[in-house]
Amino acid sequence: MPRLLTALFFVAAHLFAQASGQSSCALDGSVVNADTGEPIVRAHVSVMNPGGQKSVITDASGLWSVTGIACGQTQIFVTRIGFLQRYYGAPRAGGLFVPLILAPGEVAHDVKIALTPQAVVSGKVLDDQNDPVQGAQITALTPRIAAGLRTFQVTASAMSNDLGDYRLAGLQPGRYIICATAGGQINPLSASDFDAATVMGVRCFPGPPEGGSAGAMELRGPDTRADFTLTRVPAAKVRGTILNAPRGVGISLSRRGVNINGRAQPGVVRPNGVFEIPGVLPGSYLLATDFWEAGKRLAARVPIEVGGADVEGVNVRLEAGFPVTGTVRLETKKGQPDVFPQVPITLRAVDPSGGGQLVWNKAHDGFTINELTPGSYRLESLSNGPWFLKSATLAGRDISKESVPLSQAAGPIDVVLSDDTGALEGTVEDADGKPVAGWVMVLREGRSPRNIMSQADGHFTVPTLAPGDYTVCAWDDWQQVEYANADWMQRNAAPVRATVEGGQTVQVRLRQQKTPPL
């Protein structure tokens, strides 16, 4: 996503520069510590716009200046060892930037950028005999927003050294759970480990991620310590058979929900297809195997629940990837186009390991999605052109509004595109009622949100919207919005309701809200 936004920024900036001309502009400002306000010496300031990039270093007073740069949309990026990198205009470290717009011949003075000191966690990992654990994996779990809901995700990791010491640096201030696992604790090729009934367990500080954000600790500053003692705990084996196993096929077990160490647990597959995965802790897992043969995908996904006993007799059947077909038809209010519209669509899998490859026919009015694996899927379109996805019907269900299970060849999906679009237009204001550049989020029930940034004068336009009822909000950072959480939205949003009709533009006025820390 950051690369895409940067690319879009430079395209827009290039067009702006062509329209405004390449007059000479200049900038000066300061870099300070966000916590103390003190100047930061030797910070690296990069100024990027259509004319290229210039970089300078702050002086002993934290001051910097850049002259002779092209005018237009300008991006400023600042780094310094011991601090988090920051874009000018971002509401927080690592947040999305707001470009600075320089008019021809303008000199922008006193551009102030505050860098946030990095948070650091360090400590030691020992076993139950007080010996250091070398190669233990330490992960930092942070609340993040995925599909509009809060969840814990691994945002940083480190390995312990031969003394059992580790250091997690470069962390953003916020709430964290730090977990330790004994990396490489099970070697499936070792006979002694293959029969092991215990493994080193997982330890999390201050508590397990199942406790939610309330059980996380607040990190700010480079002096947090978390030590771990890993003890051996009972572990189960998962055994079964890959019924039609080709030679060389592998199998692995991945934790469902919050995956603390972020990796899959491999198993051993014998030539007859019998497999065993040792050292499995209690929990919910997904058993997965993939194999490519003569350009064709064979795959299987089996959910597994592991308790206090071994899981026996799991039968896994590799199935060939299957196709789903679709047709596209147009409903037009403006007349048939000379060229059939090429609207991007995606069949998105609920399980991240699913998905397939979409191939259009020559006329672009039909498609095939090949090599799908069994799972639940939903069809989405992110088109910003004159056509919108009105519906996508398969077996009587609109799979553009809900996920449906697919386990075999299916279709055609009846995709309907319409040009009977409306639009939203308006302004974004800050808490004082002044126009501001901010993120506009357009929400419609059953569809993914659409996000667009307002201009420096607060003005925005959201074109090509399907007719219907919408909720519109303005935020300092849309990536932090729990839009799928009704209680969160009620507490934090200042929504405006709008009904969009075909051929009409609805005017709205939004008050920008600051997203609370996760």
Sign of the torsion formed by the C-alpha atoms of 111, 31, 513 and 472 = positive
Mean pLDDT of the chain: 87
Could you tell me which of 281, 307, 132 has the C-alpha nearest to residue 196? 281
| Backbone angle region of 206, left / alpha / beta, with phi > 0 → left and psi within -120 to 50 → alpha | alpha
Q: What is the CATH number of domain 120-233?
A: 2.60.40.1120
**Burial class for 78, CB neighbours closer than 10 Å (0-12, 13-18, 19+):** buried
Q: Which residue has the higher pLDDT, 203 or 517?
A: 203
Give residue 190's pLDDT.
40
Across 7-16, 140-149, 432-441, least confident range:
7-16
The pairing of strands 228-230 and 217-219 is unpaired
Q: In the prediction, which pLDDT does 255 show?
A: 86
Residue ranges of the alpha helices (H) in 111-222?
191-194
Per-residue pLDDT at 213 exceeds 50: yes
Q: Quickly state the pLDDT bin for 293 (edges 50, 70, 90).
A: confident
pLDDT of residue 297: 83
pLDDT bracket for residue 256 (50, 70, 90): confident
* Amino acid at site 180: A
Spell out the alpha helix ranges (H) of 177-231. 191-194
Could you tell me if 200 and 231 are in contact, meaning their C-beta atoms sit under 8 angstroms apart?
A: yes
CA proximity to 290, closest of 251, 240, 253:
251
- E strand residue ranges, 58-184: 63-70, 72-79, 86-87, 100-102, 107-115, 119-127, 137-146, 149-159, 165-171, 174-181
Instruction: Quote the pLDDT of residue 96.
Output: 62
200 against 12, higher pLDDT: 200
The CA distances from residue 28 to 66, 99, 106, 112, 421, in Å, are 6, 15, 12, 9, 45
Write out pLDDT tens, residues 437-450. Answer: 889 999 998 788 99
Residue 488: is its pLDDT beyond 80? Answer: yes
Q: What is the pLDDT of residue 335?
A: 84
CA distance 451 to 31: 30
**Which pLDDT band holds residue 188 (cuts at 50, 70, 90)?**
very low
Q: Looking at residue 214, what DSSP letter applies?
A: G
Q: Which residues contact 339 (CB under 8 A, 6 or more apart)?
A: none
Between CA 474 and CA 486 the distance in angstroms is 16
Cβ proximity of 25 and 102 under 8 Å: yes
Is residue 182 very low, low, confident or very high in pLDDT (cuts 50, 70, 90)?
Answer: confident
Q: What pLDDT shows up at residue 354?
A: 61
Give pLDDT, residue 50. Answer: 78
Please give the Cα distance from 72 to 396 (Å, whole number): 51
> What ranges do the domains of the chain cover?
2-115, 120-233, 235-320, 322-418, 422-513
Task: Indicate whether 143 pLDDT > 80.
Answer: yes
The token pair that represents 8 in the structure block = 């879009």
User: What CATH class has 422-513?
Assistant: mainly beta
Q: Who has greater pLDDT, 4 or 464?
A: 464
Tell me which CATH homologous superfamily contains domain 235-320: Carboxypeptidase-like, regulatory domain (2.60.40.1120)
Mean pLDDT of 9-23: 46
Residue whose pair of structure tokens reads 């010496």 in the numeric block: 41
Tokens representing residue 97 in the block: 């930037």
| pLDDT at 12 > cutoff 60 | no
Q: What is the pLDDT of residue 9?
A: 43
HSE (side-chain half, CA atoms, 13 Å) at 218: 3
- pLDDT value for 200: 85
CATH of domain 322-418: 2.60.40
Nearest to 23 by CA among 67, 64, 63, 84: 67
The tokens for 462 are 């959201």
What confidence tier does 467 reach under pLDDT thresholds 50, 70, 90? very high
Give the type of residue at 247: R
Distance of CA 138 to the CA centre of its chain: 21
**Can you give the pLDDT at residue 198?**
79
Query: 47-51, 208-212, 507-511: lowest mean pLDDT where?
Result: 208-212
Identify each DSSP E strand in 12-62 by its residue range.
24-33, 44-49, 52-57
Give, rounded to a whole angstrom, the gap between the first and last alpha carbons of the chain.
20
- Check for a shared fold between 2-115 and 235-320: yes
Joined together, the tokens standing for residue 208 give 């397990």
pLDDT at 518 exceeding the cut of 80: no
- For residue 193, pLDDT over 50 is answered with no
> Is pLDDT larger for residue 241 or for residue 212?
241
pLDDT over 70 at 435, yes or no: yes
Tokens of 164: 């059992």
Q: Model confidence over 415-426: pLDDT tens digits?
A: 999 999 999 999
| Angle 143-149-153 from CA coordinates, rounded to 5° | 30
Q: Round to whole Å and give the CA distance between 389 and 383.
A: 8
**What pLDDT digit, counting tens, does each position of 321-377 carry?**
889 999 999 999 888 888 888 888 888 887 665 667 889 999 989 999 988 888 889
Contact 232, 199 (CB under 8 A): yes
CATH class of 2-115: mainly beta
Instruction: Answer positive or negative: Cα dihedral of 231, 232, 233, 238.
Output: positive
